[in-house]
Amino acid sequence: MRQKKTFLPKVESIEKKYFLIDAKDKVLGRLATNVATILMGKHKPLWTPFLDTGDFVIIINAEKVKFTGKKLLEKAYYRHSGYLGGLKKETAFSLLQKNPETVIFHAVKGMLPKNHLGRKMLKKLKVYKGPEHLHQAQKPALLEF
- β-bridge mates for residue 60, sequence order: 22
pLDDT at 4: 84
Q: Look at domain 17-66+98-143 and name its CATH class.
A: alpha beta
Instruction: Indicate the SS3 state at residue 115.
Output: coil
* pLDDT per residue as tens digits for the range 26-84: 999 999 999 999 999 999 999 999 999 999 999 999 999 999 999 999 999 999 999 99
Tell me what the pLDDT averaged over the chain comes to: 96
pLDDT at 3: 83
Domain extents in the chain: 17-66+98-143
- β-bridge mates for residue 57, sequence order: 19, 125
Instruction: Indicate the SS3 state at residue 112.
Output: coil
Task: Express as a percent the part of the chain with pLDDT over 70.
Answer: 100
116 close to 107: Cβ distance less than 8 angstroms: no
pLDDT at 42: 97
